[in-house]
């Protein structure tokens, strides 16, 4: 029977030792631990449960990558009732699956932030004392960054698609049925891009425990190979495409994007006209992803032999 506090007790404080209660509920193993790490990495990348400063960069970048879609839809809305203007399109779905400076910055900022502190602050021994293997760690980290990249690339496309539907002169339903292919091409192309950048960002970040070094290395690799490729290829619109386009690590997913959208390398690509260019692009993409994955596996194999 519980005692009713008396008036005399009312002014007194009391310290209760709640002791220890064993946990008797359900308990997961590797899958649960991997998913938990995936969620924690997503929260970290987006700055959730962290100070407001950590939230600024990801959401400003999301805003920046959405701007072209908003502008495109806005122009469509303004000109929808003016017969003098045919459909004005400042950016296509294919072009929108592109490499923007915002995405480049995002990978350079977020991948090191998600990977490096675990090593620098020596959190890894605590993680691997849980039911978690090195490969689970890599899947969780790469998965988290790839998911955010996917979302940041896909959300603007959705804004563009829904906006275009709303302002279409032919009506929303006609626009929808006329662009059904976009519904699978965009996710596939965006997923290829997201996985590629996530693997590269994580692999480079796994090689150092300093965020600034990792960030500079990621951005440096992208810019250096992009510039080198440009120098090697030269003026491809006049001289034709070149194998030199394949050393462009930054632009590699764009060749696969072309294959998804067009079924061949685009005529406005520096790989246009190169024999077997599409196949070579797929091979190079696979080699980069494989090299990144092997690097990650090697860095987190953890258990000695």
Name the minimum Å distance from CB 49 to other proteins: 6
Q: Considering only residues 7, 13, 14, 20, which one is a binding residue for other proteins as defined by CB under 8 A?
A: 20
Check binding of 21 to other proteins (CB under 8 A): yes
Stretch that binds other proteins, among 127-135, 151-159, 205-213, 219-227 (CB under 8 A): 127-135
Task: Pick between residue 50 and residue 264 the one whose CB is nearest to other proteins.
Answer: 50
Check binding of 303 to other proteins (CB under 8 A): yes
# residues near other proteins by CB under 8 A: 38
Check binding of 131 to other proteins (CB under 8 A): yes
Taking the CB of residue 89, how many other CB atoms lie within 10 A of it? 13
Check binding of 127 to other proteins (CB under 8 A): yes
Check binding of 128 to other proteins (CB under 8 A): yes
Task: Pick between residue 11 and residue 26 the one whose CB is nearest to other proteins.
Answer: 26
Check binding of 50 to other proteins (CB under 8 A): yes
Check binding of 125 to other proteins (CB under 8 A): yes
Task: Pick between residue 133 and residue 262 the one whose CB is nearest to other proteins.
Answer: 133
Check binding of 26 to other proteins (CB under 8 A): yes
Task: Pick between residue 28 and residue 240 the one whose CB is nearest to other proteins.
Answer: 28
Least Cα distance to 246 among 281, 221, 215 occurs for 281
Q: Considering only residues 37, 69, 97, 204, which one is a binding residue for other proteins as defined by CB under 8 A?
A: 37
Least Cα distance to 196 among 134, 254, 270, 133 occurs for 254
Name the minimum Å distance from CB 216 to other proteins: 21
Instruction: Give the pair of three-digit tokens for residue 146.
Output: 């790839």
Q: Are 246 and 225 in contact (CB under 8 A)?
A: no
Check binding of 81 to other proteins (CB under 8 A): no
Enumerate binding residues for other proteins (CB under 8 A).
Answer: 18-23, 25-30, 32-33, 36-37, 39-40, 49-50, 117-118, 121-123, 125-133, 302-305
């Amino acid at each position: 029977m519980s005692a009713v506090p008396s008036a005399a007790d009312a002014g007194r404080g009391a310290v209760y030792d709640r002791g220890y209660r064993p946990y008797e509920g359900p308990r997961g193993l590797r899958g649960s631990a991997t998913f938990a790490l995936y969620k924690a990495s997503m929260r970290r990348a987006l700055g959730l449960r962290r100070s407001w400063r950590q939230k600024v960069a990801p959401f400003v970048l999301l805003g920046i990558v959405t701007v072209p879609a908003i502008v495109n839809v806005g122009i469509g809305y303004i000109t929808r009732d003016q017969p003098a203007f045919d459909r004005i399109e400042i950016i296509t779905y294919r072009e929108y699956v592109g490499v923007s400076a915002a995405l480049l910055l995002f990978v350079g900022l977020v991948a090191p932030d998600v990977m490096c502190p675990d090593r620098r602050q020596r959190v890894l021994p605590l993680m691997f004392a849980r039911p978690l293997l090195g490969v689970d760690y890599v899947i969780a980290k790469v998965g988290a960054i790839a998911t955010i990249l996917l979302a940041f690339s896909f959300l603007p496309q959705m804004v563009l698609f829904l906006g275009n539907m709303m302002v279409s002169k032919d009506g929303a339903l006609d626009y929808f049925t006329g662009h059904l292919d976009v519904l699978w091409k965009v996710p596939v192309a965006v997923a290829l891009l997201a996985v590629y950048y996530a693997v590269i960002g994580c692999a480079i970040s796994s090689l150092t425990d300093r965020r600034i070094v990792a960030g500079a290395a990621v951005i440096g690799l992208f810019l250096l190979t992009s510039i080198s490729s440009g120098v090697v290829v030269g003026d491809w619109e006049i001289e034709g495409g070149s194998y030199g386009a394949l050393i462009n690590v930054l632009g590699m997913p764009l060749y696969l994007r072309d294959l998804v959208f067009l079924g061949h390398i685009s005529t406005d690509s520096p790989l246009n006209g190169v024999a077997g260019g599409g196949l070579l692009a797929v091979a190079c993409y696979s080699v980069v992803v494989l090299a990144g994955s092997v690097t990650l596996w090697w860095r987190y194999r953890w258990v000695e032999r």
